[in-house]
Amino acid sequence: MIQRIQSIFLLLVAVAMVTAVCTPIWLQVNAMQNQTMEMTAWYITIRDLPQENIATQTSNFYIGIMAILAACLAIYSLFQFKNRKTQLMLNMINALLMGITLGLVVYTSYQANMDFNPAVSGVFVLGFYAIAFGLVMNLFANRFIRKDEMLIRSVDRIR
């Protein structure tokens, strides 16, 4: 199982999605630089800058749930190494799930930016790039699983 490169890629998908859950996704500072907005997978938090007091906190738990589901699906797919067709299907579903997560992050950050400081856009940080990295690693895993499947079929034809 672990000697296959797609297993490493699937493990990296799970690590990337857990990283997205644990780190900030988007940051924004308002024009007067007296408040900052931080979006994580669970909350959008507005803080007053000198004291770092939380002014408001809005829940966006759906991003965290989607990321955890994607990580769990990647781990489950990792252990389905004996059935490549099932593994391919699970990875395609996972790619869709991560794509929806990425879309939700962009949409939620856009809406939060319009409410907080529409003149300046915020900056995406590690959590956002971890989701994108996980999506790319999932695509690489699918490519190598397909390659293994074609190799097995060609060997069966020779017999």
Count how many domains the chain has: 1
The pLDDT of residue 56: 85
| 31 pLDDT above the threshold of 80 | no
| 33 pLDDT above the threshold of 90 | no
| 156 pLDDT above the threshold of 70 | no
User: Does 158 fall in a domain?
Assistant: no
| 159 pLDDT above the threshold of 60 | no
Across 6-110, where does the E strand assignment appear? 26-29, 35-39, 43-48, 53-59
pLDDT band at 3 (very low <50, low <70, confident <90, very high): low
List Cα–Cα distances, 158 to 44, 138, 153, 154, 155, in angstroms. 58, 31, 9, 7, 5
Mean pLDDT, rounded, for 95-104: 96
User: Does 25 fall in a domain?
Assistant: yes
User: Does 102 fall in a domain?
Assistant: yes
The pLDDT of residue 158: 62
User: Does 93 fall in a domain?
Assistant: yes
| 1 pLDDT above the threshold of 60 | no
User: Does 137 fall in a domain?
Assistant: yes
List Cα–Cα distances, 41 to 6, 60, 67, 152, 153, in angstroms. 27, 7, 8, 40, 42
User: Does 31 fall in a domain?
Assistant: yes
Answer with the residue of higher pLDDT: 139 or 47.
139
Report the alpha-carbon distance of residue 145 to residue 104 in Å, rounded: 28
| 132 pLDDT above the threshold of 90 | yes
Mean pLDDT, rounded, for 71-82: 92
Q: How much is the pTM?
A: 0.89
The pLDDT of residue 116: 84
pLDDT band at 150 (very low <50, low <70, confident <90, very high): confident
User: Does 159 fall in a domain?
Assistant: no
User: Does 110 fall in a domain?
Assistant: yes
Look up the CATH number of the domain holding residue 49. Answer: 1.20.140.150
Radius of gyration of the chain (CA): 19
The pLDDT of residue 104: 96
Q: Which domain holds residue 46?
A: 5-153
Taking alpha carbons only, the member of 10, 5, 7, 22 closest to residue 130 is 22
